[in-house]
Amino acid sequence: MTFSPKYSLPALALLGLTLGSCQPELDDNRPTADAGQLNFSSYVAVGNSLTSGYSDGGLYNEVQAVSYPAILAQQFAKTGKGPASFVQPAFSAAKKDGSGYVKLQLVNGAAVPVQPSAANNYLGEQVAYTGTNAAFPTELEAYTGAQPDNLGVPGISVLSADKTASSTGNAVVDAQTRGAAAAYGSLNNFYQRLLPAADRTSKDYVTYIGQKTPTFFSCWMGNNDVLTYATAGGVASATNPFSGLTDTTSFGKGYRNIIAAISKNGTVKGVCANIPNVTNIPYFNTVTVTAVAAAFKAANAASPGVFITTGTATAPVIRLATSADLLTLTAQGVVATGAGSTPTNPVPNQYVLDATEITTVVNRTTQLNAIIAKTARQNKLALADMNTFFNSIASQGIVTNAVNNTATFASGNLFSLDGVHPTPRGYAVVANEFIRVINAYYGSMVPQVAPNDYRGVLFP
């Protein structure tokens, strides 16, 4: 027997080390990325602020770079049939903070959202305001590259996108609204910066998006047809034809024109997203009637509650708020100075979305979503039901690899500091929902992203 322990032991140990260093490798059995019947070589995104990558009350390069269309383009590319490049209208490096954005700052040891303004030197941000156009003080640095693939324009609605949409039956109103839509490039600083000077008073958004020849598109329009009215506490501005709730006739006409323009009359495949119920966003659920009433009670035990202004500008109704009324995020400032504590100093109407207005907004959202669904169906387009998706987030949040993300302001990770627009994490979650819908409808296998790789709110 030549088996010597002297040699066998090191041999055994060596065997152990060899086997031990044998890293198991998992076959990646996840479905291989596959575009299926789709061709993403020219993907174009149509939409408003949500599509542009707007966040924290502004459009700035950092979040624009992770807009949901940018994430979609990145994931589409993994199928091998994606866009070689996806162009977004970024601001120049020296003006990377674009329109500026809200930051949390420490005030007396607590984190408070602070708006950038000329007065606070834009919080040190490198904003892109030109400051050279006296007639249009919010003018931004023009985007001079070729027409981008992300065509999202913050603030745009269906009504303002189509110079033929307005069909209220009131000729005077329609003429004014259609005229404003045609000249939208001179009204909206984010649209203005995309257009050559010559087009700013004449080229409406439908014409602008019609210039693209996509092989696949996404369209998420309509939010501002209800949101602008809602975030203003149900108060429409007399001077802004796009500040009310868009009527269904005008919306239907405008929406069909938008889809026809980008889908080349239904010949290009794509996905439409509908309008989430705006009353679920932190903008309306952070400053609550209950909390404000409790604060008043703490200051004055006899306080009966929160007085709010409802009704119309000409016939205001002042009453005590109930939990069915919503206060805006922006109400924080006026409430802090005592507004709402007495009937003679009620919370002004623009900070209150009262129960009646909520019903009006929700009902209109339902009607507009029916139009979006029908248009998508008629054009054989996928429909991302963002209304249902955000309802689910509002009620139970969404967990991403052990991180609980909710619709809570700031700490919920999903909504940015304006209380309306997503954070990069929120945009990643939105992109995953788009991908899920696209895959289900077209049978493609576009991989989803890991939302935790995208940040939530930044804390000081």
Partner 1 sequence: MTVKTLLLAGGTLLVSASAASASGFQVNLGGQKNIGMGGVGVALTLDQAAMFYNPGALAMVRDNGVQVGFNAALARNAFIPESGGGQSTLDNKLVTPANFYAAFGPKEGKWKIGIGAYTPFGSELHYNKNWEGRYSLTDINLRSIFAQLTASFAITPQLSVGAGLVMLAYGDVDLQKDVPLTAQTGAPTPHVTLNGKAKQSFGYNAGIYFKPSDKLSVGVSYRSQVDAKIENGDVRLRDVIYSTGGNFTATNFSATLPLPATASVGVAVMPNEKLTISADANLVFWSAYRTLDFTFSGNNGYGDRAATATTPAVVGTPGLLGGSTTSSAKRYYQDALAFRLGGQYKVTDGLTVRAGGFYDMAAVKDGYISPETPDADRIGLTAGASYEFGKRFGIDASFLFEDFLKRSQSQSDLLNNGTTDRVAGTYKTTIAVPGVGLYVKF
User: For partner 1, which is the closer residue by CB, 35 or 180?
Assistant: 35
Rounded CA gap, 343 and 305, in Å?
10
H helix or E strand, kind and range, residue 384 = strand 382-384
Residue 216 and residue 40 in contact, taking contact as beta carbons nearer than 8 Å: yes
How many chain residues touch partner 1 (CB under 8 A)? 51
* Residue 118 within binding range of partner 1, rule CB under 8 A: no
When asked if residue 2 is in the footprint of partner 1 (CB under 8 A), the reply is: no
CB of 436 to partner 1, least distance (A): 10
When binding is defined by CB under 8 A, the residue of 13, 197, 336, 440 that contacts partner 1 is 13
Binding status of residue 33 toward partner 1 by CB under 8 A: yes
Report how far residue 417's alpha carbon sits from residue 423's, in angstroms, rounded to the nearest whole number: 8
Quick check: 453 binds partner 1 (CB under 8 A)?
yes
Please, what is the minimum distance in Å from the beta carbon of residue 6 to partner 1? 9
Q: Does 452 bind partner 1 (CB under 8 A)?
A: yes
Q: Structure tokens of 237?
A: 């501005």
Q: Which of 22, 134, 171, 315 binds partner 1 (CB under 8 A)?
A: 22
Answer for which of 29, 85, 265, 337 binds partner 1 (CB under 8 A) is 29
Q: Which has the closest alpha carbon to 205: 191, 190, 186?
A: 191
CA dist 75 and 79 (Å) reads: 7
Tokens of 47: 């939409």
Residue type at 456?
A: G
Touching partner 1, residues 386-415 (CB under 8 A): 399, 401-404, 413
Q: Is 8 one of the binding residues for partner 1 (CB under 8 A)?
A: yes
CA 129 to chain centre: 22
How far does CA 238 lie from the centroid of its chain? 26
Region near partner 1 per CB under 8 A, out of 104-112, 221-229, 258-266, 310-318: 104-112
**Nearest to residue 429, comparing CAs of 389, 369, 373?**
389
> Among 93, 109, 298, 302, which residue interacts with partner 1 (rule: CB under 8 A)?
109
Angle between helices 386-396 and 424-442 (to 10 degrees): 130
Residues in contact with partner 1 by the rule CB under 8 A: 1, 3, 5, 8-9, 12-13, 15-17, 19-30, 32-33, 103-104, 106, 108-111, 399, 401-404, 413, 432, 447-453, 455-460
